[in-house]
Amino acid sequence: MKWVKNLNKFSDLIDILKNEIKNVQSGNKVCIIHHDDADGCTSAALMSILLFRLTNQFPDLFPIRGPNNLSKSLMSKLKMINPDFVFTLDVTIDPKKLNVFNGFILDHHIQNIQSKSNMKYINPRLLEEKDELIPPTSCMVYKLLKSFFPEEKVSWIAGIGITEDHRVELCKDVFEDVKREFSSFFDLDDISQQSVENSVFGELWDMTRSGRMIKRINGAVTVVNALIECKNDPGKFLNGIGTNAYIVRRFYETIEREGRKIIDDVKANGKFLHDKKILIYEAKQSSINSITSFASDKLRQKYPDWIICVIGRDRGFNVKLSIRIEQSMINVNLVDIVNKIKSEMPTVKGGGHKSAVGVTLAKSDLKRFLELFQSFF
């Protein structure tokens, strides 16, 4: 079942978003809080394009790393700006934390949060339990933008976020839009997660997440601005043509070199558990941020029939793990497994999607976690 076929089921959600956006008037000041990954950055770019059409000015952007990560500094900046609206995209925030503002939180992660009267919490999981039928935020914002301005040809931007969140088959109609709008750029007959990742969208995904990896928050803002400045021509973004796109291209070249190093190092130092088809790899020290999730994605692409578990850099007393599977080849729900481990090890933190999870735990618990994880296979 595709998102386009699910649209009737989620029509109320889209209507809520439209009704909220209709309150935005020309001249209103708007701020966007968004996740700093590719789905978050593409969602912010699409929402910025929509808001510019409505207000004739771009919103202020505030990328953040993870759920409820609202620092005192960020809240102070928001209060100084005193925006008419605050919209949060692709990251879980308790509406109580933003209750002094008007707006909404558009999330798609596994949460159960109540809305506030002036700060709605909107999540398709309130309407659908099956993880594989939950669209990425970028897909939802794309549908919202097209409902206001159908002439905007920005499907390629949404496609990047969809690719990152492993929802290509669910959102196949968006890639059909890309084929129709930019046939010389993307013209796959077989639209599947693997084929799209192996197409130009694999590179676009890496470019979009390279911002946070190289320059953290400032890098994420640069990526969003690059997507906006190249909105009518994905080739310009890909080739670094434009003030911000040029910078993003340099970011990408740096992480691409790091990716090649990881693949080479795994051959020598990766632990291949052949009986369970589990690959465990301890990431090397690096100046690049978010290297754990990046390494796990690269290894999943290289070894699609293996379960990938990357152990991150030392974080004091804690360590981070990034676990990935190729959903089209391995029928496993990683969230369910992690939740079962949590019942045995309450100090384990984390979650994610069916095919991608992140976990943080004490270094002293790492051996026990890996033993429990392996026992499920």
pLDDT one-digit tens code per residue, 147-200? 999 999 999 999 999 999 989 999 999 999 999 999 999 999 999 999 999 999
Domain count along the chain: 2
Question: Do the domain assignments include residue 292?
Answer: yes
Q: Is the domain of 193 the same as that of 308?
A: no
Question: Do the domain assignments include residue 358?
Answer: yes
Average pLDDT value over all residues in the chain: 92
Q: Is the domain of 46 the same as that of 190?
A: yes
Question: Do the domain assignments include residue 166?
Answer: yes
The arithmetic mean of pLDDT across residues 288-317, rounded, is 90
Question: Do the domain assignments include residue 192?
Answer: yes
Q: Is the pLDDT of residue 8 over 80?
A: no
Of the pLDDT bands very low, low, confident and very high (cuts 50, 70, 90), residue 314 is low
**H-run or E-run covering 179:** helix 172-181
Of the pLDDT bands very low, low, confident and very high (cuts 50, 70, 90), residue 9 is low
Q: Is the domain of 170 the same as that of 300?
A: no
Bridge-based pairing state of the strands 356-362 and 349-353: antiparallel
Integer-rounded Cα Rg, in Å, for the chain is 20
Q: Is the domain of 152 the same as that of 280?
A: no
Q: Is the pLDDT of residue 5 over 90?
A: no
Q: Is the pLDDT of residue 7 over 60?
A: no
Residue at which a domain ends, from 171, 197, 223? 197
Distance, in Å, from the CA atom of 209 to the CA atom of 219, rounded to the nearest integer, reads: 9
Residue at which a domain ends, from 179, 197, 215? 197
3-state secondary structure of 332: coil
Q: Is the domain of 61 the same as that of 152?
A: yes
The pLDDT of residue 113: 81
The arithmetic mean of pLDDT across residues 209-220, rounded, is 97
Question: Do the domain assignments include residue 275?
Answer: yes
The arithmetic mean of pLDDT across residues 250-259, rounded, is 96
Q: Is the domain of 274 the same as that of 185?
A: no
CATH number, domain with residue 351: 3.10.310.40
Q: Is the domain of 52 the same as that of 173?
A: yes
Q: Is the domain of 125 the same as that of 13?
A: yes
Question: Do the domain assignments include residue 263?
Answer: no
Question: Do the domain assignments include residue 188?
Answer: yes
3-state secondary structure of 294: helix
pTM for the whole structure: 0.91
Range of the domain at 33: 3-197
Q: Is the domain of 87 the same as that of 188?
A: yes
- The structure tokens listed for 227 are 């997507």
Residue at which a domain ends, from 197, 227, 254? 197
Q: Is the pLDDT of residue 44 over 50?
A: yes
Q: Is the pLDDT of residue 66 over 90?
A: no
Question: Do the domain assignments include residue 216?
Answer: no
